[in-house]
């Protein structure tokens, strides 16, 4: 009886350890964070950030993601660069990347977030920014600000010499202030911060030659509009080396066939010689 009880206790302890490990693993998740400042400079480009479930509610929200972002990437951590306040509308940002202007916005997977308590999940893309221009008319409720823009893919992997076609879109608001996505024409493509001669067409599309091996940050800008810089990370792999296989007729399967034919010829010759001798 004591042995049975001891065995049950051991099983319970092991099961408890597995449960603790599962809880520990679920207490963090990884997301990809992009951030640009009020000059349009890309500070973070899809940086992998590990988010901790600080409040222990079993999920991860944007407040926890912003906290983790500053802890990992801002000099002085979240205490120096990030702060929040509470109003009748809930939790909001009062300091982002050390900026206290209040002119902030953020999107998850290129969709406008509603607030800091929105849930964020593993593998999500959080894009945050400080507006370069922000003007609000309280009488007409009209706002003049940067246009949030994004490519139709977050990242891509191609082979050296390939051409990559992408579409650039921006978020605008209709008469009911609902966000809609539109194609962005005549946007200048930049690669690693350097302007190119490439521009998007009337459908927002552009084809980019990827001729050199490496990793590149693709973005875009406009002359007549201020865009929140979109981010596309591209990896260009080396083209596989061409191989020519010269198969010798005396190697491999051909050699086996040759050996068989020689042996068969020898056997037939021996058999014929035997018959002649017997006569």
Which residues are paired to 144 by β-bridges?
A: 135
Read off the CATH number of the domain in which 176 is found.
Answer: 2.60.40.10
Whether residue 30 is found in the same domain as residue 124: yes
57 lies in some domain: yes
199 lies in some domain: yes
Whether residue 229 is found in the same domain as residue 183: yes
Q: How many folded domains does the chain comprise?
A: 2
Question: Does 142 have pLDDT greater than 60?
Answer: yes
How much of the chain, in percent, has pLDDT values that exceed 90? 70
Concatenating the DSSP letter of every residue in the chain gives -HHHHHHHHHHHHHHHHHHHHHHHHHTEEEEEEEEE-TTS-EEEEEEEEEEE-TT-SSS-BHHHHHHHHHHHHSTTHHHHH-EEEEETTEEEEEEBTTB-S--EEEEETTEE---TTSB--TT-EEEEEE-SSEEEETTTTEEEEPEEEEES-SEEEEETTEEEEEEEEEEEE-TT--EEEEE--SPEEEETTEEEEEE--TTSEEEEEE-SSEEEEEEEE-SSSPEEPP-EEEEEEPPPPP------TTSHHHHHHHHHHHHHHHHHHHHHHHHHHH-
The Cα 50–Cα 235 span in angstroms is 23
The Cα 95–Cα 99 span in angstroms is 5
Read off the CATH number of the domain in which 47 is found.
Answer: 2.170.130.30
168 lies in some domain: yes
Whether residue 68 is found in the same domain as residue 133: yes
Radius of gyration, alpha carbons of the chain: 32
Whether residue 101 is found in the same domain as residue 182: no
**pLDDT computed for residue 202 by the predictor:** 97
Whether residue 124 is found in the same domain as residue 151: no
128 lies in some domain: yes
1 lies in some domain: no
Residue 232: give the domain boundaries.
146-243
154 lies in some domain: yes
94 lies in some domain: yes
Which residues are paired to 149 by β-bridges?
A: 170
**pLDDT computed for residue 245 by the predictor:** 59
pLDDT in tens, 184-225: 999 999 999 999 999 999 999 999 999 999 999 999 999 989
Asked which of 172-181, 212-221, 234-243, 256-265 is least confident by mean pLDDT, the reply is 256-265
207 lies in some domain: yes
């Amino acid at each position: 009886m004591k042995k049975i009880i001891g065995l049950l206790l051991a099983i319970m302890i092991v099961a408890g350890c597995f449960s603790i490990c599962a809880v520990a693993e679920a207490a963090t998740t990884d997301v990809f964070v992009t951030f640009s400042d009020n000059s349009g400079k890309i500070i973070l480009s899809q940086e992998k950030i590990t988010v901790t479930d600080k409040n222990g509610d079993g999920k991860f929200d944007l407040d926890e993601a912003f906290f983790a972002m500053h802890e990992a990437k801002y000099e002085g951590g979240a205490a120096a660069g990030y702060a929040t306040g509470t109003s009748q509308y809930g939790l909001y940002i009062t300091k982002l990347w050390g900026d206290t202007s209040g002119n902030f916005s953020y999107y998850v997977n290129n969709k406008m977030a509603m607030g800091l308590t929105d849930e964020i999940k593993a593998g999500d893309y959080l894009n945050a920014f400080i507006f370069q221009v922000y003007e609000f008319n309280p009488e007409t409720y009209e706002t003049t600000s940067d246009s949030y823009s994004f490519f139709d893919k977050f990242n891509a992997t191609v082979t050296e010499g390939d051409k990559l076609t992408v579409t650039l879109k921006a978020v605008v608001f209709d008469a009911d202030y609902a966000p809609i996505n539109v194609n962005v024409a005549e946007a200048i493509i930049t690669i690693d911060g350097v302007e190119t001669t490439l521009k998007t067409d009337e459908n927002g599309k552009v084809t980019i030659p990827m001729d050199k091996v490496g990793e590149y940050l693709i973005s875009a800008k406009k002359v007549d509009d201020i865009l929140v810089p979109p981010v596309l990370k591209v990896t260009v792999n080396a083209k596989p080396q061409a191989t020519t296989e010269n198969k010798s007729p005396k190697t491999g399967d051909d050699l086996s066939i040759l050996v068989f034919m020689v042996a068969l010829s020898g056997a037939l010759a021996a058999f014929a010689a035997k018959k002649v001798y017997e006569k």
